[in-house]
Chain A
Amino acid sequence: KAGVTQTPRYLIKTRGQQVTLSCSPISGHRSVSWYQQTPGQGLQFLFEYFSETQRNKGNFPGRFSGRQFSNSRSEMNVSTLELGDSALYLCASSKLAGTSWGYEQYFGPGTRLTVT
């Protein structure tokens, strides 16, 4: 079974530009979550999508947005990039949405975004 795939793996952008990252979950998984990982803040939750609906959102500014398609693939977009947005962006998929009890998540290799 193929794992979670993320494209592109590496990206260099300039301040003020926007970027779109893509994530394909494991086949049959309908929940996709996005995380930002930096050396200073560690792994921080961005948002979760299930059946094309955003179910949870972290404490990030509105410049960070996402969406999910009917085939469960997901994209996240960051507009007006800032230097502090340089990070590893990780996507994770899970079979179920989770209610009060969550489920194990399978992470992709991440997209390394560098903003200059």
Chain B
Amino acid sequence: SQKIEQNSEALNIQEGKTATLTCNYTNYSPAYLQWYRQDPGRGPVFLLLIRENEKEKRKERLKVTFDTTLKQSLFHITASQPADSATYLCALGGGGNKLTFGTGTQLKVEL
């Protein structure tokens, strides 16, 4: 069955450093991959979308890579700030807008 793995342990980093979050998947050939941010008590917020024929996408301090051979996506936040503290979810899609989500990684940026 399809499996999406994100680091279940929280990631704690210092302000100003680069946070790198990992999303690995098995038994799946997604056409695209998305990253979302979720704060407690709120719905997920869209951050980036990358398609299977793209290697890398950037948006301001965010960068995502997509390696379909390794079946892995990396999500980077550069110059991290305490306001970046949240749970980050990767989601894979293969048909229409149906998304299969990972369990998320909690990021905490400390002063």
Contact = CB atoms under 8 A, between A and B. Distances in A.
Interface of A: 4, 31, 33, 35, 42-45, 48, 55-56, 58, 90, 92, 94, 97-110
B43 A48 contact: no
B79 interface: no
B14 to A, nearest CB: 28
B40 to A, nearest CB: 11
Contact of A100 (B43, B45, B95): B95
Nearest to B52: A101
A102 B98 contact: yes
A102 B43 contact: no
Interface residues of B, number: 26
Contacts of A56: 95-98
A33 B95 contact: no
Nearest to A103: B97
Contacts of B49: 102-104
Contact of A104 (B31, B46, B102): B46
B96 A108 contact: no
A105 B104 contact: no
B96 A102 contact: yes
A58 B101 contact: no
Given A31-B97, A48-B96, A103-B97, A109 B31 contact: no
B99 A45 contact: yes
B103 interface: yes
